[in-house]
Amino acid sequence: MKGTRAKMMTGLASMLLLLSGISSAGMVDYFTDNGYGNPVATIQHPRAEYYNGKTYIAYQGPHEDPYVCAYDHAAKKWSGPVKAGENPMGKTPDPVDPKGPDNHGRPALIVDGKGYIHLIFGGHGGYPRFGKNELGTPGKGKQTHVVTSRPEDISSWEIVENVDPFGTYSQFVKMDDGDIYLFYRHGSHQSDWVYQKSTDNCRTFAPPVSVLKHKAQESDPNLHDAWYAWFENGKGDTITASYVYHPCRLKGHTKERYNGYYMKMNCGDESWENANGNVLALPVTKEYADQNTLVCDTFTTKVKSNHGTCHVDDEGNPHLFFRQQGQVRYFRWLGNAWQAPVAVPGGDGDMIVESPKVVRMLLSQGNSGGGEVCWWKTTDGGLTWGKESCLISSPDSSYAASALVHNAHPDGRMVVSEHNRAQNHLYRKLFLLGDSGPVGRPEEGASNLGDCLKNLEAVQPGPKPDKAGKKNRNKSGEEGDGDE
Active site residues per annotation: 104, 169
d(CA 406, CA 49): 4
- From 327, 358, 320, select the one nearest 344 (Cα to Cα): 327
d(CA 131, CA 125): 12
Cα atoms in the 13 Å half-sphere on the side-chain side of 37 = 29
Provide the 3-class DSSP secondary structure of residue 288: helix
Residue 9's contacts (CB-CB under 8 Å, 6 or more residues apart) are none
Q: What is the largest CA-CA distance in the chain?
A: 90
- How far is Cα of residue 117 from the mean position of the Cα atoms in its chain? 17
d(CA 309, CA 206): 26
Provide the 3-class DSSP secondary structure of residue 65: coil
Go through 270-289 and write b for each residue having 16 or more CB atoms within 10 A of its CB, e for each that does not. eebbbbeeeebebbbebeeb
- From 13, 37, 57, select the one nearest 98 (Cα to Cα): 37
d(CA 276, CA 271): 14
